Amino acid sequence: MAVPMTRRARNASGIALAVPILKQRFGERCETGAAIRAQHAHTTTWIAGEPADAVVFVESHQDVVDLVEVCRTHRVPIVPFGVGTSLEGHVNAPEGGISADFSRMNQVLAVHDEDLTCTVEPGVTRTQLNAHLRDRGLFFPIDPGANATIGGMCGTRASGTNAVRYGTMRENVVALRAVLANGDTITTASRAKKSSAGYDVTRLLVGSEGTLGLITAVTLKLHGIPEAILSAVCPFPTVEAACRATIATVQSGIPVARIELLDGLQVSAVNAHSKLTLPEVPTLFLEFHGSPAAVAADGEAVAALAADEGGGPFKIATLAEDRSRLWQARHDAYWAALGLRPGCTGISTDVCVPISRLAECVEATREDAQELDLVAPIVGHVGDGNFHTLVLIGDDPAERARAATFIGRLSERAIAMEGTCTGEHGIGQGKMAYLRRELGGTVDVMAAIKATLDPDGIMNPGKIFH
């Protein structure tokens, strides 16, 4: 049932007709200047930017309906844009068209404290949402590091540091409202805690990278702010030892909220950037949520497992300012790593493997970097088998070729270990070459769904599929 997905030619005539109509409808909210278009094609990777022909700032659900109607009529591509933190070229417009900027759709529409849910517009960022929820004693746990929008996090099925305990966007999105390519508005589910009513269209749209429709509202699961939070750092003699301690922690059923690995090179970068004084060896950053007695007991249990692998000392932080400094340093790991080679480009890539293969995969990746003479610090959400490398490269074509070889080997290695070529970044443009190797004929099922819901290929074309 193979459905060919080919790159369409730029529809210059349709774009020429659509842009003046959009300018009339949206006024100053439809911009065609070169600078704003280039900004909306910005990618934090080595994928070249491909600007849209215009940027439309949508401010309401009706704006999105109107935008889709014009683009559907003239067969013009629409590329959704939140704040531009995606890493695989998702915001590029390879066929031209319209960049739909959702940053002004940033209202929290409702909070249902008793049900532990809220409904937000897609342009709400995760930090904005948690600031809104704080006084209610609630929080939204998905934390990809960057201050991404909720809509963008839905698009890439984001996760982050808290995923080992709270799951990913897949587990934390209750329902979506979206506008499809034919202009129809759908709501994918109710707010009920569970349902057996038909296909799970919510999960179909979460992770679809804007290729099936434009999300205009998201209902999310919330959690109570923990009574007590304990953070810790623990150095290890080797990456393999840190991974073994992680595996033992997860297999023991200890409800750790965060368990992050930084290799020695990444710790060195973090020390310089965030003014820390950690031993520059492989290190785990951990966090525990619960009652005071529970987090203390969990910390002691993990400290014992770490000691069995030669880890320690196990240093804890309970004061909010100390925890904040530690996790801010972790979130700044990308910028810290760039400081290892000033003036270079950082290529961030990620994979995820079954946790039993984690140590093997990380060690083989480190050996690859050494063999290829690359600076590639490793950091990861290792509690669920997911880790990242940031390959730092200059303008030397030979070095860029070695970096491509490194990323290819990493993706192939993860797939061979029954893992995935991307744990949370998404496929976008950058990982298309590996999708069929990972999923085989399932890609044809995806392509058939895409062809049915978007026969003219206007929803973020050139992503996921070749």
Do 319 and 365 lie in one domain? The reply is no
Report CA torsion sign: 206, 212, 218, 219. negative
Backbone torsion region of residue 436, taken as left when φ is above 0, otherwise alpha when ψ lies between -120 and 50, otherwise beta = alpha
Report CA torsion sign: 302, 307, 310, 316. positive
Do 79 and 128 lie in one domain? The reply is no
Exposed / middle / buried, residue 75 (Cβ in 10 Å: 0-12, 13-18, 19+): middle
Give the number of other CB atoms < 10 A from CB of residue 238. Answer: 18
Three-class secondary structure assignment of 298-333: HHHHHHHHHHHCCCCCCEEECCHHHHHHHHHHHHCH
Q: Which residues contact 216 (CB under 8 A, 6 or more apart)?
A: 61, 64, 105, 121, 122, 177, 178, 179, 185
* Single-letter amino acid code for the residue at 187: T
| Residue 277, domain CATH | 3.30.70.3450
CB of 91 closer than 8 Å to CB of 81: yes
The closest alpha carbon to 30, from 2, 70, 3, belongs to: 70
Q: Which residues contact 325 (CB under 8 A, 6 or more apart)?
A: 274, 276
Does 164 map to a domain? yes
Does 465 map to a domain? no
Does 4 map to a domain? no
Does 3 map to a domain? no
| Residue 412, domain CATH | 3.30.70.2740
CB of 71 closer than 8 Å to CB of 18: yes
Q: Which residue in this structure is represented by tokens 């897609």?
A: 122
Q: In the numeric block, which tokens belong to residue 453?
A: 């819901």
> What's the rounded Cα separation, in Å, for the pair 88 and 80?
14
Range of the domain at 203: 108-224
Does 2 map to a domain? no
Do 382 and 314 lie in one domain? The reply is no
Do 206 and 294 lie in one domain? The reply is no
> Which tens digit of pLDDT belongs to each residue from 22-39?
999 999 999 999 999 999
CB of 361 closer than 8 Å to CB of 353: yes
Do 25 and 41 lie in one domain? The reply is yes
Domain count, the chain: 4
Does 344 map to a domain? yes
Strands 185-187, 78-81: pairing is: unpaired
Strands 256-262, 283-290: pairing is: antiparallel
Give the residue from 310, 335, 360 where a domain finishes. Answer: 335
pLDDT of residue 7: 62
CB of 393 closer than 8 Å to CB of 376: no
Do 248 and 304 lie in one domain? The reply is yes
> What's the rounded Cα separation, in Å, for the pair 325 and 273?
12
Q: In the numeric block, which tokens belong to residue 455?
A: 């026969």
* Single-letter amino acid code for the residue at 99: S
CB of 285 closer than 8 Å to CB of 260: yes
Does 90 map to a domain? yes
Do 119 and 218 lie in one domain? The reply is yes
Run of H or E residues at 62:
helix 61-74
| Residue 34, domain CATH | 3.30.43.10
Does 306 map to a domain? yes
Give the residue from 199, 224, 249 where a domain finishes. Answer: 224
b (16+ CB within 10 A) / e for 263-276: bbbbbbbbbebbee
Query: In the chain, which stretches have pLDDT less than 50?
Result: 1-5
| Residue 118, domain CATH | 3.30.465.10
Do 131 and 68 lie in one domain? The reply is no
pLDDT of residue 465: 83
The closest alpha carbon to 432, from 140, 129, 94, belongs to: 94
CA torsion 449-206-214-1 (nearest 10°) is -10
Cα 319 to chain centroid, rounded: 29
Do 53 and 124 lie in one domain? The reply is no
CA torsion 151-157-161-163 (nearest 10°) is 120
* Single-letter amino acid code for the residue at 342: P
> What's the rounded Cα separation, in Å, for the pair 42 and 79?
13
Do 372 and 402 lie in one domain? The reply is yes
> What's the rounded Cα separation, in Å, for the pair 298 and 458?
50
Q: Which residues contact 386 (CB under 8 A, 6 or more apart)?
A: 159, 163, 350, 351, 352, 380, 423, 424
> What's the rounded Cα separation, in Å, for the pair 162 and 399?
34
Do 118 and 197 lie in one domain? The reply is yes
Do 188 and 148 lie in one domain? The reply is yes
Give the residue from 313, 335, 357 where a domain finishes. Answer: 335
> What's the rounded Cα separation, in Å, for the pair 145 and 324?
13
Q: Which residues contact 136 (CB under 8 A, 6 or more apart)?
A: 111, 113
